[in-house]
Amino acid sequence: MAKNENVNIEDLLVDQSKFDFKNPETYVYKTIPGLNEKVVQEISEQKEEPTWMRDLRLKSLHIFNTWRDPRFGVDVSDLDVSKIVAYIRPRGKTSGSWDDVPAEIKDTFDKLGIPEAEKKALAGVGAQYDSEIVYQNIKKELENLGVIFLNMESAVKEYPDLVKEYFMKAVAPTNHKYAALHGAVWSGGTFLYIPKGVKVPLPLQAYFRMNNPGMGQMEHTIIVADEGSEVAFIEGCSAPYYEITNLHAGMVEIYVKKGARVKYATIQNWSKNTYNLNTKRAIVDEDGIMEWVSGSLGSHKTMIYPSSILKGKGAKTETKAITYAGPNQHMDSGSKVFMFAPYTSANVDARSISIGGGWAFYRGWLKVGENAKGAKASVSCQALMLDNESKSDTVPLIEVYTDDADVGHEARIGRIKEEQIYYLMSRGLSEAEAKAMVVRGFVEPFAKELPLEYAIELNRLINLEVESSIG
């Protein structure tokens, strides 16, 4: 089989051009770079927060200042938090009408297709620009059913007892140093409550956009799915490229009550000057179902491990994830599952593609507790390297503390097999078409979990329609 000598690696790289437009730096309020008590107090005063929230911020600041960096994940020694601007308030106030959003911000979300997506396929949208939600809207019929869909600042004021019950209870500031950083300077994000028995027919979406250089975006999302309810939530994020470091340290806390079901899908396209140090965790009660769908494509360095704590009998979780590591990218991603109740089940399917010297690292943790009798779990991590310069590693930690459990694990790292290409070419495909088909098949289990328009966007980003051989 002749080898194609005209390999063009650029044809296979993620195209970030759609997200790389910039607006002039405009804002109505901005903290100085760095993190100290004065900055934290300023943020709390700007938001007119209750005492309990201000105290939580100050407690988190103390933890951040006294704790070491995590001993896992990416190297963050080059991340200088003293140069990061923690809070930038954009012009305008949160609105339920796109017409009321400032023109330059509205233009940003128009280019990203958010208003059009809302019309076609979404039950509600929240859009964050820099440190604040600028647009939040939900279909009236869902609001009439008691669904609460607010920016986090409004929820703190309008439903203080409900927010206080859940805020940083799934992920405490002591979880790791960057959880503490988040607790100190969080801003924006979504509070979503689905009442008992309500099944939301279309997905809700939050989109996060960083426009300014040298800033940190720290949105906080809480989803509470009450007994027997169902909801799907899509998170998208992007930023233009700058020559200085940006930081994303968001947090997602999900509470799946008895018999409820939540699907949380993420498409992450941060620019390659961004450290993405995100924390996501769900607590799942009896017969609840938590589904994570995660696509990590952008950023300079990423640490993301969606976690599920199965604390109720019969609780289930499923994770499908695709990680793409291109030039100058180190993607440390994976999943965590803690099974603490009988007859719980978990399925993890994590896949990565590395190209152009990128480094994809799977880091997983499955813990089956002594009370998890009859538990079933399957973990599969697969890595595809498309050249000789790229790297891929897997570190799956599995702990089982009961004899009455069925646990399976599979890990595969490698390149496209010549016999696969030969077989497809024997069926009439060119070498380039055959290799492109193998890559599409590798990604397909993840893509099919997305709404159609997001699956199409994923294929465009990864540029699976290759015209030249991978080589």
Identity of the amino acid at 184: A
Rg (CA), the chain: 22
Identity of the amino acid at 288: G
* pLDDT at position 421: 80
CA torsion 178-184-190-194 (nearest 10°) is 90
Q: How far apart are CA 428 and CA 426, in angstroms?
A: 5
Are 302 and 331 a contacting pair, CB within 8 Å?
yes
The β-bridge partners of 184 are: none
Count CA atoms within 13 Å of residue 356 on its CB side.
Answer: 14
Identity of the amino acid at 159: Y
Q: How far apart are CA 153 and CA 81, in angstroms?
A: 24
Q: Would you place residue 430 in the very low, low, confident or very high pLDDT band (cuts 50, 70, 90)?
A: confident
The three-class DSSP label of residue 426 is: helix
Q: How far apart are CA 9 and CA 471, in angstroms?
A: 9
Residue with tokens 């339920």, as numbered in its chain: 96
How many helices and strands in the chain, by DSSP H and E? 11, 25
- The pTM of this model reads 0.89
Are 239 and 247 a contacting pair, CB within 8 Å?
no
Sorted by where each begins, the domain ranges of the chain are 21-304
Check pLDDT > 90 for residue 303: yes
Q: What angle do CA 275, 218, 29 make, to 5 degrees?
A: 110
* pLDDT at position 422: 84
The three-class DSSP label of residue 222 is: strand
Mean pLDDT for the chain?
85
Distance of alpha carbon 273 from its chain centroid, rounded?
Answer: 17
* pLDDT at position 428: 87
* pLDDT at position 305: 95
Count CA atoms within 13 Å of residue 265 on its CB side.
Answer: 19
The residue ranking higher by pLDDT, 201 or 291, is 291
Q: How far apart are CA 51 and CA 308, in angstroms?
A: 31
Q: How far apart are CA 214 and CA 80, in angstroms?
A: 10
Exposure string of 114-130, with b = 16+ CB inside 10 Å and e = fewer, is bbebbeeebbbbbbbbb
Q: Print the SS3 string covering 248-267.
A: ECCEEEEEECCCCEEEEEEE
* pLDDT at position 143: 87
* pLDDT at position 21: 52
* pLDDT at position 60: 97
Are 464 and 11 a contacting pair, CB within 8 Å?
no
Give every CB contact of residue 164 below 8 A, 6+ residues apart in sequence.
Answer: 52
In terms of Cα–Cα distance, which of 154, 170, 144, 341 is closest to 256? 170
DSSP string across 362-392: EEEEEEE-TT-TTEEEEEEEEEEE-SSS-EE
* pLDDT at position 61: 97
CA of 379: how far to CAs of 317, 366, 376, 397, in Å? 12, 8, 10, 10
pLDDT digits (tens, 9 = 90+) for 83-111: 999 998 887 677 677 677 777 776 777 76
* pLDDT at position 72: 87
Q: Would you place residue 8 in the very low, low, confident or very high pLDDT band (cuts 50, 70, 90)?
A: very low
Check pLDDT > 70 for residue 469: no
Are 459 and 436 a contacting pair, CB within 8 Å?
no
pLDDT digits (tens, 9 = 90+) for 228-251: 999 999 988 888 888 899 999 999
Are 382 and 415 a contacting pair, CB within 8 Å?
no
* pLDDT at position 467: 35
* pLDDT at position 464: 38
- Which H or E run contains 140? helix 140-144
The β-bridge partners of 375 are: 405
Q: Would you place residue 284 in the very low, low, confident or very high pLDDT band (cuts 50, 70, 90)?
A: very high
The residue ranking higher by pLDDT, 447 or 470, is 447
The first and second tokens of residue 299, run together, are 């950023």
DSSP string across 78-95: T--GGG-B--EEPSS--B
pLDDT digits (tens, 9 = 90+) for 368-380: 999 999 999 999 9
pLDDT digits (tens, 9 = 90+) for 378-405: 999 999 887 788 899 989 899 999 999 9
Greatest extent of the chain over all pairs of C-alpha atoms, in Å: 71
Are 9 and 387 a contacting pair, CB within 8 Å?
yes
* Residue 236, φ and ψ in degrees, nearest 5: -125, 150
Sign of CA dihedral 271, 277, 278, 281: positive
* Residue 462, φ and ψ in degrees, nearest 5: -75, -15
The first and second tokens of residue 150, run together, are 């607010």
The β-bridge partners of 352 are: 323, 383
